[in-house]
Structure 1
Amino acid sequence: MAATVFIDGEVGTTGLQIRERLAKREDLTLISLPEAKRKDAAARKDAFARADVAILCLPDDAAREAVALCDGLDTRLIDASTAHRTADGWTYGFPELKPGQADAIAKADRVSNPGCYSTCAIALLAPLVDADLMATDTACAIFGISGYTGGGKAMVAEFEGDTPPGPFIYATGQTHKHLPEIIARTGLTMTPIFTPSVGQYAQGMVVQIPLYSAALKGRPDRAAIHAALAAHYKASRFVTVRPLDQVEPRENPQKLNGTNRLELAVLGDDATGRLVVSAILDNLGKGASGAAVQNLNLMLGLDEGAGL
């Protein structure tokens, strides 16, 4: 019997992408509400009650309200908002985070989908901390650029309107909503400086973290850092580490668009000890909707790559 799935917020940027990935699958049945009922609490609660898994594609406060609507129901939840990424009782939905994480997601009733920037940053930093190459109090900075779809429907409308704003840097006050989960999932005790930006293109993301070899434990070179990342992700289906000898003169944030892949690379100059770890993904794929589908597959005991 096909599992039932309800996407609460299916007309938003993330919800539409999830629905597109699930609509043609024969192993799932989608529950959908008519437009007039999408904000009706009783109709939504009935949809939650009929679903095996519900995916919340909502603003933070609305996601918390949706969770409250599910009190007393057997419905399992995936929350794509920021609301529960560091909350007790929620399993972090990055299967590649550490050994056993995918199994934890498979058994969980409450899964928090990671953010796009945080997926990249955590994927780069957590293995270095775990491999004892990076002290938890290491000072670092995270730089990145994302397509404008990462800002949701309002930003999409802004960029696709008559007077698009053009590329810009934001979150200059160092209070970006992804920082708490980056700290929580990497083990760092010093909050990184984070400088995100939005590009004049729809989707795709590159995140880079510069590191001085001299500031790391044992002064590792590029090969040592690459070995740590490669070992961590050796069994991963969706995360790859680019070979050290594969030189790309330009890092293209759009190269993985339409996929659920995350590509990591170790760049820089060993002679001067100035290194850069880099991550590329589709902010609507592995950075949001693709990740949600991957988590859904795990929770339902299906092929992890189904629909991806």
Structure 2
Amino acid sequence: MQGKVFIDGEAGTTGLGIKDRLAKEPGVELKSLPPERRKDPQAKAQLLREVDVAILCLPDEAAKETAALVDSLGADGPRLLDASTAHRVAQGWTYGFPELCAGQAEAVARAKRVANPGCYATGAVALLRPLVDAGLVAPDFPIAINAVSGYSGGGKTMIADHEADRAPAFELYALGLSHKHLPEIEAYARLARRPIFVPSVGSFAQGMLVSIPLFLDELPARPKAGDLEAALRSHYAGARCVRVLSAPESGRIEPEALNGTNDLELYVFANEARGQAALVARLDNLGKGASGAAMQNLELMLGG
């Protein structure tokens, strides 16, 4: 891929991850502002005129401000790839999960505005969307989603607390049941009923598991576990970054195996005799859940 890129917020975890990956791309020229000018609107506007894509690795309100600045530049403004939560369900923005459905990768490649998915949402949507589209899970079926992430997804304070051994080994959070990834999960999994989502964080730096338990005999089509797996395999056939694998016989899975990659693995664990299944997605929260996904989208946007 070739082009000029500006990372607005390059000092954060996602920005640094993208910057490291871009260093391996000889066709990409990375532009930046000196630290003392990063909050200067005129300096930022001038730089935005010079690049092909601006990647927003900012808090939501700051991402909205930069998007508004780009809008004010009209035809002189660059394309945008937003890694924040600000525009994931916003009108006029394309959801940056290329494997979402047929034609989504092409939509990302053409889009002027692309919203990078959330890490938890990537796993949940990847598991649910194919099953909803196949009619195996009804849009209004009650869904519960559990997930665990490494602490690197929690920001500077959480990272510092874990690295200084001031944080618990494991904790649930967002127990007000209004996590910021819920709107995109509901929208892009095509759910008509808001799911219950309970995330957690463990004392490991990065890696993620997203799991969804299902009572098979309560699903409209009363599918077998093999039907769920077949639908997932059909949906992701030929996908470069998403793999559907047979569940290990051990009945165990750990979250760190894909660290440093942009891969996403999907599994269907089941007890057929009891009519129960657990869908599981494994990914690197800093890879396919953040910087890796951004690079995949950028490659599409720059014709790589």
- For normalisation by structure 2, the TM-score amounts to 0.96
Aligned to 1:59: 59
Distance 1:163 1:225, change over 3 A: same
Letter in 2 for 1:24: K
Aligned to 1:268: 270
Structure 2 counterpart SS, 1:277: strand
Residue 243 of structure 1 deviates from its aligned partner by: 2.3
Aligned to 2:227: 224
**What are the within-5 Å matches in structure 2 for residues 35-46 of structure 1?**
35-46=35-46
Residue 94 of structure 1 deviates from its aligned partner by: 0.1
Aligned to 1:30: 30
* 2: CA distance, partners of 1:145 / 1:157: 19
Residue 162 of structure 1 deviates from its aligned partner by: 5.2
Which of 207, 223, 229 aligns to 1:204? It is 207
Contact 2:2–2:303 under 8 Å retained in 1: no
* 1: CA distance, partners of 2:94 / 2:25: 26
Which of 87, 90, 95 aligns to 1:87? It is 90
> CA-to-partner distance for each residue in 1:128-151, whole Å, 9 max, x for gaps?
000000111100100010001111
**CA RMSD of superposed structures (Å):** 1.2
Identity score, percent? 57
Residue 262 of structure 1 deviates from its aligned partner by: 0.1
Alignment gaps of 5+ in structure 1: 303-308
Letter in 1 for 2:7: I
Letter in 1 for 2:139: T
Aligned to 1:122: 125
Residue 24 of structure 1 deviates from its aligned partner by: 2.6
* 1: CA distance, partners of 2:45 / 2:23: 22
Contact 1:158–1:165 under 8 Å retained in 2: no
Letter in 2 for 1:300: L
Letter in 1 for 2:188: R
Aligned to 1:306: none
Letter in 2 for 1:193: I
2:37 pairs with 1:48: no
Residue 77 of structure 1 deviates from its aligned partner by: 0.3
Aligned residues: 301
Residue 248 of structure 1 deviates from its aligned partner by: 4.1
Which of 243, 247, 252 aligns to 2:246? It is 243
Q: Which runs of 4+ in 1 moved over 6 A?
A: none
2:301 pairs with 1:295: no
Aligned to 2:137: 134
- For normalisation by structure 1, the TM-score amounts to 0.95
Aligned to 1:108: 111
* 2: CA distance, partners of 1:211 / 1:165: 30
2:169 pairs with 1:159: no
* 1: CA distance, partners of 2:36 / 2:70: 21
Structure 1 counterpart SS, 2:106: helix
- Deviating more after overlay: 149-158 vs 182-191: 149-158
Aligned to 2:175: 172
Contact 1:82–1:115 under 8 Å retained in 2: yes
* 1: CA distance, partners of 2:290 / 2:273: 38
2:217 pairs with 1:214: yes
Letter in 1 for 2:291: S
Alignment gaps of 5+ in structure 2: none
Aligned to 1:279: 281
Structure 1 counterpart SS, 2:44: helix
* 2: CA distance, partners of 1:45 / 1:105: 24
2:265 pairs with 1:258: no
* 2: CA distance, partners of 1:132 / 1:280: 24
Residue 47 of structure 1 deviates from its aligned partner by: 1.7
